[in-house]
């Protein structure tokens, strides 16, 4: 036994929620991007959301006790820092669907709360930062970035994923800062080869407010195992996606509703115990 803290013992909803909330504020200036939104649109969106809430209350005769429980729960979501988790799990998938509806190239999926920019640059062929003896089946992934017309693209893949215990670096304690986070840049041939390990299925924190809703509603908290990517190339729309593994019991009932058939991988076992796979990305030219 070592005395090093294991994330499993010390990970908490409040700690990962606080990190995700802090990360969101550090990366984005969300109000700047919508500062020219006309009041008519704000009025319409706010009114229709409130109308839907009112209709639900009337339809189901929501009581004062239920209203007060909701009020307390919403306050707690903020205190736990779980707004990024709540929104990305239960809302973002529809925003992503609307935003990428026009694309001819690769299907996308939600970003989720655990992206961190500026991960270590590893070239076109490289191994993800990981601990010595990192647990999990080694994965060797050959791929290419092309445009919708088939032309290879010099671009960049940012990859981040959970470890074999389902923990993300920078959001669970005890992990090296950039563990299983890396950036890969392709040359003009668009080709890359990434070595990493298979992540575990991910259970969203059960000890915070999102977990409380899940338990109270009798839902489960699982996302299937997944790799997160952001793929970009000059003159092309950048792609945010997740890739999934066949046979995962939660591919069909992802709590975040973020699985699409086009995002399924096909890893093949190799004699040395690792797995090999290919997955190609197709990006849409800007303004196409």
Binding range to ligand MBD, per CB under 6 A, among 58-66, 82-90, 94-102, 184-192: 82-90
Strand order in the sheet with 181-185: 181-185, 156-161, 226-232, 239-244
Q: What is the CA radius of gyration of the chain?
A: 20
Measured from each CB, the residue nearest to ligand MBD is 112
Task: Quote the tokens at residue 65.
Answer: 């006790």
Q: In the complex, what is the shortest distance from the CB of residue 277 to ligand MBD, in angstroms, rounded to a whole number?
A: 20
DSSP β-ladder status, 226-232 and 156-161: antiparallel
- Residue 265 binds ligand MBD, judged by CB under 6 A: no
* CB within 8 Å of 264: residues ≥ 6 apart: 243, 244, 245, 246, 251
Query: What are the angstrom distances between the C-alpha of 11 and each of 18, 50, 135, 200, 262?
Result: 12, 35, 18, 16, 33
User: Which among Fe ion, ligand MBD, none contacts residue 243 (Cβ within 5 to 8 A by kind)?
Assistant: none
Instruction: Name which of 112 and 205 has its Cβ closer to Fe ion.
Output: 112
Q: Which residues contact 150 (CB under 8 A, 6 or more apart)?
A: none
Which of the stretches 13-21, 58-66, 79-87, 106-114 binds Fe ion when contact is defined by CB under 5 A?
A: 106-114
Contact partner, 113, from ligand MBD, Fe ion, none, Cβ < 5-8 Å per class: ligand MBD
Minimum CB distance to ligand MBD smaller for 105 or for 113: 113
Containing 48, the helix (H) or strand (E) segment is helix 39-60
The stretch near ligand MBD (CB under 6 A) out of 83-91, 176-184, 191-199, 267-275 is 83-91
- Work out the end-to-end distance of the chain between its first and last CA atoms, rounded to an integer number of angstroms: 57
Report 210-229 residues binding ligand MBD (CB under 6 A). Answer: 223
Q: Mask: binding to ligand MBD, 86-125, rule CB under 6 A, as x and -?
A: --xx--------------------x-xxx-----------
In the set 17, 81, 108, 112, which binds Fe ion (CB under 5 A)? 112
- Looking at beta carbons only, is 113 or 182 nearer to ligand MBD? 113
Q: CA angle, corner 234, sides to 233 and 235, nearest 5?
A: 115
Count helices and strands in the chain by DSSP H and E runs: 8, 12
Which of these ranges, 20-28, 91-99, 100-108, 111-119, lies near Fe ion under the rule CB under 5 A?
Answer: 111-119
Least distance from Fe ion to the Cβ atom of residue 226, Å: 6
Stretch in the footprint of Fe ion (CB under 5 A) among 67-75, 83-91, 104-112, 128-136: 104-112
Burial class (CB in 10 A: 0-12, 13-18, 19+), 27: exposed
Both tokens assigned to 74: 């919403």
**Residue with Cβ nearer ligand MBD (117 or 123):** 117
Task: Note the residues at the interface with Fe ion (CB under 5 A).
Answer: 112
Task: Note the residues at the interface with ligand MBD (CB under 6 A).
Answer: 85, 88-89, 110, 112-114, 202, 204, 223, 256, 258
């Amino acid at each position: 036994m070592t005395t090093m803290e294991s994330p499993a013992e010390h990970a908490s909803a409040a700690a990962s929620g606080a990190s995700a909330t802090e990360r969101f504020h550090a990366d984005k200036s969300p109000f700047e991007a919508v500062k020219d939104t006309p009041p008519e649109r704000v009025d319409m969106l706010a009114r229709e959301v409130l109308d839907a809430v009112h209709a639900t209350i009337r339809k189901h005769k929501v009581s004062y006790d239920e209203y007060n429980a909701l009020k307390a729960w919403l306050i707690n979501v903020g205190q736990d820092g779980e707004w990024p988790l709540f929104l990305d799990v239960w809302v973002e998938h529809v925003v992503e669907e609307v935003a990428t509806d026009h694309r001819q190239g690769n299907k996308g999926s939600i970003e989720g709360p655990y992206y961190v920019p500026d991960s270590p640059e590893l070239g076109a062929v490289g191994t993800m930062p990981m601990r010595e003896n990192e647990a999990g089946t080694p994965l060797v992934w050959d791929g290419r970035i092309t445009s919708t017309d088939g032309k290879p693209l010099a671009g960049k893949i940012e990859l981040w994923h959970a470890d074999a215990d389902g923990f993300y670096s920078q959001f669970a304690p005890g992990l090296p800062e950039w563990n299983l986070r890396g950036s890969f840049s392709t040359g003009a041939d668009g080709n890359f080869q990434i070595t990493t390990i298979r992540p575990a299925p991910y259970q969203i924190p059960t000890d915070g407010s999102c977990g409380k809703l899940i338990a109270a509603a009798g839902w489960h908290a699982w996302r299937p195992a997944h790799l997160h990517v952001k793929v970009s190339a000059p003159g092309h729309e950048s792609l945010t996606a997740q890739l999934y593994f066949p046979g995962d019991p939660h591919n069909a009932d992802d709590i975040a509703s973020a699985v699409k058939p086009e995002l399924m991988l096909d890893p093949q076992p190799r004699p040395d115990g690792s797995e090999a796979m290919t997955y190609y990305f197709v990006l849409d030219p800007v303004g196409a």
